[in-house]
Amino acid sequence: MSKCLRLLVLLTLALAVVSKRAKKNVLFIMADDLRTSLGCYGDTLAKSPNIDQLASRSQSFLNAFAQQAVCAPSRTSMLTSRRPDTTRLYDFNSYWRTHAGNYTTMPQYFKSHRYFTASVGKIFHPGVPSNHSDDYPYSWSIPAYHPASFRYENKKVCKGEDGNLHANLLCAVNVTEQPEGTLPDLEVTDEALRLLKSRVNDDVPFFLAVGFHKPHIPFRIPQEYLSLYPLEQMTLVPDPDVPAKLPTVAYNPWMDLRKRDDVQKLNTSFPYGPIPKDFQLRIRQHYYAAVSYMDAQVGRLLCALDELGLANSTMVVFTSDHGWSLGEHGEWAKYSNFDVATRVPLIFYVPGVTSNDSLRDATFPFINVLVQSDLVFKNEQVIKNVVELLDVFPTVSHMAGLKAPKICPEVCFKEKLCTEGLDQTSTFTQGPEQRLPEALAFTQYPRPADTPQENSDLPDLKDITVMGYSMRSWDNRYTVWMSFYPKTFTVNATDVHGGEFYLYADDPTEDKNVYDEYIHGAMMRKMASLPPTASVPMRMRQQLLYLSAGRKTRRGQA
C-alpha cells in the first residue's frame, strides 16, 4: 500500500468517527476501589454480567492506570486531566482551585457547551478536595447528590458473631435492618434513574456522572451477594509474601483495614504481620461480592437507558478511581504503585462507533447476578496499549462531539483549560493488537519515611518526605523513590531512597525486583531518551537522565 493510500484510508476512518460525533449524552459511571476484577478483564472468579454486557458493545482499554492510588488525588487528577504534581493534591486537605490553579474540569467543560451536568454519589471526593460542594457551581448545573444512608457507612451497623453491632470491615447485612432501610449505592441508583427519566423529553444534552461507593471498604453490602462466592471456593493469591527485594519505603501497611473492629481482634503485628488465612479468604469473598452488588446497580442504569430510548444517543463510560490489593505482596487496600493498586477498568460504549447494531440488538438487559446467566461474554474491541486516566477527559470530549482540550505546556499552572493526557479517539479505529512501545503510564505515591509508619498509607502534605514516581510500559514497570520537599513541591532527583524494576515477561505479578541488576543497562538509557511526544513528566525524565549517566546517589550507585 502506498504512503498516499495509507493516509487516505486513515483519513476516511477518522472522518467516519467524526461524522458520528453529533453531540451525544454522556453517562459517566465510576466505581470506588475497583481493580480489574471483572469477567470482561479475564477474572474467572468475578461475576459481573452487566458490566461484561456493556463491554461486549464497547471499546475496552485493558491497560489503563490511575495517577495515584488513593481516592481524592486520583479523582481530581482524572476530572481535571492534570497530574497530582500539577493539582498539588496528594492527600485530602486542599482544593486545587485555590491551592494550585483554577483548572477547568471535565463536567465544567461540558457545562460550558450547554450540557446539563449532574453528579450523583461519589464523583469528586467530598469535603475539602472539592470545596465541600463537589465543585458546584463550576462543574454541575445542580448541587451534587449524596445518599442520606452514607452517614452510617462507618458506624457500628455490622452485626458481629456476638450479636452486637460493630464497625467491621466485613459487613454483609440485611438491608431492611439497616438505618433508613437502604444502602448508599441503592439510593445512588434510584436518584440516577430519576434524573435519566427527567431528561427524556429535554432537548438539552446531559452529562450525568454516577459514582458508586463499592467495592470500597467497609464491605457493607446486601448479605445475599455472598452466596455468589462460597467460602470453600475462594482461593488465596499466589504471591502473599512481601517481595524480598522490595524497598521498605514502597510498602503499604494497610492501616485503614487495621482500624476496623473485626481486624483489630486479629492482633496482627505491624507492619508486615500477615492476616490469618481464613480471614484473608473472607476479605476476598466480601470484595468480590461487593463487585457483584455494584455490577447489579450498573445493570439497572443500562436497562433504563434502553427502556427510556436513550441507548442510541448516550455514550457510556465506565471506570474506577484506582485498584485494590487483595493480599498480593503482603498488602491490602491501595496506597502503592503496584499494578493491582493502579490498574483500572476503562470501558467506552459509543453508539454508532463501538457498536453498529440496531437499538433492538444493542439493548442492555439488567441481569440479576443472583440468578445463573447464560450470557457468553465476547469482546474483540480491546486496546492493549498503556493509557492513563488523564486520557479520559480529552477522549470523552472528542467522542461526545466536542473538541478535545489542547495539550498542556510542560509547566501549566496558569492554564485553565488543557490536558496532560492524550486523546485516545484514534484508537477507536485501530486493531486490538497494535503495540506502541512508547505508550507509557505514570503513577506516583508519597511516603512520610523510608520505613513503614502508621501514616504511610496517606500522609498529610506536610509529612511527605519521599515521592515514588513510577513508569509503566507495555512490558515493565520502573519506580524510583526520591526526596520530596512539601513546602516547595519539589524533588531531588539525585537523592534516591530506593528503586523497583519489574519485567513482565518473567514476572507478571511484580514479585522480582531487578532494579539493582538493570539500572546501568541500555533499558534505562532508552527510557531516558524517549521523545517529548511520549508525554514523560519532567521529574521522571530528569531522574532517568541522571540515572542513565551512571552517577552516584546518596544511597549507592544509580
User: What Å distances lie between residue 237 and 35, 130, 242, 342, CA to CA?
Assistant: 14, 36, 12, 17
The partner residues of 165 in beta bridges, in order of sequence, read 159
3-class DSSP string for 485-543: ECCCCEEEEEEEEEEEEEECCCCCCCCCCCHHHHCCCHHHHHHHCCCHHHCCCHHHHHH
Please check whether residue 515 is in contact with residue 499, taking contact to mean a CB–CB distance below 8 angstroms.
yes
Residues in the chain: 558
Say which of 40, 125, 171, 322 is annotated catalytic: 125
Q: Tell me how far apart the alpha carbons of residues 504 and 384 are, in angstroms, rounded to a whole number.
A: 14
Task: Identify the bridge partners of residue 501 per DSSP, sorted by sequence position.
Answer: 478
Cβ atoms 476, 503 nearer than 8 A: yes
User: What one-character-per-residue DSSP string does 318-340 give?
Assistant: EEES---EESGGG-EES-SSSHH
Q: Provide the residue type at 259 as one letter.
A: K
CA-based angle 524:530:535, to the nearest 5? 120
Sheet holding 441-447, edge to edge: 441-447, 466-472, 476-485, 490-503
- Please give the grid coordinates belonging to residue 454: 502508621
d(CA 311, CA 73): 32
Q: Is 113 a catalytic residue?
A: no
Phi, psi of 413 (to 5 degrees): -65, -30
Strands 332-333 and 325-326: antiparallel
Q: Is 530 left (phi over 0), alpha (psi -120 to 50) or beta?
A: beta
Q: Which residue has the cell 462466592?
A: 229
146 catalytic, yes or no?
no
Q: Which of 40, 71, 158, 408 is catalytic?
A: 71
The answer to whether the CB of 41 falls within 8 A of the CB of 345 is: yes
Question: Which positions are catalytic?
Answer: 71, 125
